[in-house]
């Protein structure tokens, strides 16, 4: 069933005052709500619903507004619920006419809404942020014809993976699952497994690696014993094979993988999609998460350095091989044909589309460069502070959303929050400028003294 969208009714209540009567209508968040085309979002995001009977979902403006506020102010779902209930400007931004004393949604509603929308639908929020910036004068359409493309790592909310911790955790998960479904085990190894893990960590800290490896071998033996015991017990209970299928598969992969072997490895049991990515940083040689492509405008717009496109790239592809899919996606998002693409030296040997092959300028080349290209290459580093803001202020630094879909959704929402925060600052400065001009014009002129 389609959501029942909210419209301005204009109705009044004897016992309640309307929000537009008690709030400052010149507040930046109110002006931001007016600058957003909510009808466009309702059409794009409402395509996932059908006309079948049932309970109507929550209004699109409410859920889209919550997603924007969450990523714009770097809030968790729980903190957003608390602030929404206390902040009337948040409620007005989400389409409420009267102050609400109870939440009209549940915290889990945002999780289900994000999963239902997916990356493709959430890109409509990014498109609307760029369109609103253009309408408000913070950016111009020609600003998006030249972009800077770079990649970063969106880390997952996992602990630093070690073989000992992974094997110990895999055994604990299997034992807990067996106890839940009444599968009797010969031994749980709860006490000896914990002791072996503690000894391994102490020996490794003291650089006594031979002793640490003996405890690691002990943990691997324990995990194998529990895995084989459960497999034997499930032979007579085929109805549990589907329940134990994934945990047993992950436990076998953790047990069989070696540190120096190549190939896909498991770095987290609750997030097996996590990848190990090395970006050459001295302070952080390896990062565990997913690679993300970020594209920003080459020249700074009046409102700031807006993010034109963002996309999660599972599989840890080579940076240069991502342009084949990223460049068409950028043009589809911004609706403008790219005339110039600037990238760092990691994009050498790129596979950009043939019509864009000579429009990609990679840092490091010296010959045959015009002054305009040299100037553009000097602007390449402008994407780095944008990535820093995305990670530090808009929840890309540590992703708490589950699965690969959560990686893609979190990257898009981080860019949405960043763009709307720039637009919010632009509207705040614009109103301050207009108010100062108005005060200057209405101020009484001093009388000139007669001679």
Please determine, for residue 57, whether its predicted confidence score (pLDDT) is greater than 90.
no
Spatial separation of the C-alpha atoms in residues 86 and 314, rounded to whole Å: 39
Q: Find tokens 């630094």 and name the residue.
A: 397
High-pLDDT (> 70) share of the chain, %: 97
List alpha helices for 53-106, DSSP H: 60-72, 77-86, 88-93
Do residues 62 and 84 make contact, with C-beta atoms less than 8 angstroms apart? no
Instruction: Give the range among 44-53, 172-181, 345-354, 368-377 with minimum mean pLDDT.
Output: 44-53
- Read off the pLDDT of each residue in 25-53 and give the average, rounded to a whole number: 89
Q: Are strands 340-343 and 275-277 parallel, antiparallel or unpaired?
A: unpaired
| pTM for the full predicted model | 0.90
Structure tokens at 403: 């699965």
Is residue 41 predicted with pLDDT exceeding 80?
yes
What pLDDT, on a 0 to 100 scale, did the predictor assign at position 121? 93
Instruction: Tell me which H or E stretch contains 439.
Output: helix 403-442
Q: Is the domain 125-158+275-430 a CATH 3.40.50 member? A: no
Among candidate residues 129, 127, 139, the one with its CA nearest the CA of residue 35: 129
pLDDT band for position 295 (cuts 50, 70, 90): very high
At residue 13, the pLDDT reads: 67
CA distance 116 to 97: 27
- Listed by start position, the domains of the chain span 19-118, 125-158+275-430, 163-256
Tell me: pLDDT of 449 over 80: no
Q: Is residue 154 within a helix (H) or strand (E), and if so which, with residue range?
A: strand 146-155
Instruction: State yes or no: pLDDT of 8 exceeds 80.
Output: no
What pLDDT was estimated at residue 282? 85
pLDDT in tens, 111-137: 999 999 999 999 999 999 999 999 999
Is pLDDT at 387 greater than 60 in this prediction? yes
Q: Give the CA distances from residue 290 to residues 34, 78, 214, 226, 235, in Å, rounded to whole numbers and listed in that order.
A: 35, 25, 33, 32, 38
Task: Say if residue 4's pLDDT is above 80.
Answer: no
CA dihedral angle for residue 364, residue 369, residue 370, residue 372, rounded to 10 degrees = -20
Q: Is the predicted pLDDT of residue 448 greater than 70, yes or no?
A: no
Within 10 angstroms of residue 353's Cβ, the number of other Cβ atoms is 14
- Check residue 259 and report its DSSP letter: T
Residue 216 pLDDT greater than 70, yes or no: yes
169-178, 261-270, 341-350, 386-395: segment of lowest average pLDDT: 261-270
pLDDT at residue 14 is higher than 80: no
Q: What is the DSSP string of 296-359?
A: EESS-BTTB--EEEEEEETT---GGGGHHHHHHHHHHHH-S--SEEEE-GGGTT----GGGGGG
Q: Identify the three-state secondary structure at position 438.
A: helix
Q: What's the confidence (pLDDT) of residue 450?
A: 57
- For the stretch 225-283, pLDDT in tens is 999 999 999 987 888 988 999 999 999 999 998 876 777 899 999 999 999 998 888 88
User: Tens of pLDDT along 64-114?
Assistant: 999 999 999 999 999 999 999 999 999 999 999 899 899 999 999 999 999
- Give mean pLDDT, residues 54-60: 85
pLDDT attached to residue 389: 95
């Amino acid at each position: 069933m389609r959501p029942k969208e909210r419209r301005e009714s204009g109705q009044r209540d004897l016992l309640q005052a309307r929000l537009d009567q008690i709030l400052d209508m010149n507040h930046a968040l109110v002006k931001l709500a007016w600058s957003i085309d909510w009808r466009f979002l309702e059409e794009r995001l409402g395509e996932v619903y059908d006309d079948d009977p049932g309970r109507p979902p929550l209004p699109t403006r409410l859920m889209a507004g919550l997603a924007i506020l969450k990523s714009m102010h770097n809030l968790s779902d729980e903190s957003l619920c608390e602030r929404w209930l206390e902040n009337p400007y948040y409620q007005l931004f989400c389409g409420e006419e009267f102050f609400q004393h109870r939440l009209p949604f549940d915290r889990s509603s945002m999780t289900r809404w994000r999963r239902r929308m997916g990356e493709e639908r959430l890109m409509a929020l990014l498109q609307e942020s760029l369109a609103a910036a253009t309408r408000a004068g913070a950016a111009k359409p020609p600003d998006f014809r030249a972009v800077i493309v770079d990649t970063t790592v969106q880390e997952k909310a996992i602990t630093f993976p070690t073989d000992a911790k992974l094997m110990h955790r895999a055994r604990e998960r299997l034992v807990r699952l067996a106890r839940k479904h009444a599968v009797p085990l010969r031994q749980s190894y709860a006490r000896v497994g914990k002791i072996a893990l503690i000894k391994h960590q102490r020996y490794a800290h003291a650089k006594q690696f031979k002793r640490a490896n003996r405890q690691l071998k002990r943990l691997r033996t324990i995990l194998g014993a529990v895995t084989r015991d459960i497999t034997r017990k499930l032979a007579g209970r085929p109805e549990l094979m589907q329940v134990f299928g994934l945990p047993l598969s992950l436990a076998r992969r953790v047990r069989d993988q070696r540190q120096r072997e190549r190939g896909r490895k498991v770095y987290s049991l609750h997030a097996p999609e996590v990848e190990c990515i090395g970006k050459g940083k001295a302070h952080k040689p390896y990062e565990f998460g997913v690679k993300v492509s970020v594209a920003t405008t080459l020249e700074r717009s009046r409102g700031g350095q807006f993010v034109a496109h963002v996309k999660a790239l599972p599989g840890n592809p080579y940076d240069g091989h991502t342009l084949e899919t990223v460049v068409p996606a950028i043009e589809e998002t911004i609706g403008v044909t790219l005339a110039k693409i600037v990238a760092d030296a990691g994009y050498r040997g790129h596979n950009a589309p043939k019509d864009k092959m000579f429009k990609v300028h990679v840092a490091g080349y010296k010959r045959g460069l015009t002054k305009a290209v040299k100037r553009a290459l000097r602007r390449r580093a402008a994407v780095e502070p944008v990535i820093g803001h995305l990670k530090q202020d808009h929840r890309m630094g540590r992703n708490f959303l589950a699965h690969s879909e959560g990686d893609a959704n979190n990257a898009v929402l981080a860019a949405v929050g960043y763009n709307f925060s720039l637009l919010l600052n632009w509207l705040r400065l614009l109103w301050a400028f207009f108010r100062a001009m108005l005060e200057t014009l209405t101020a009484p002129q001093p009388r000139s003294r007669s001679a």
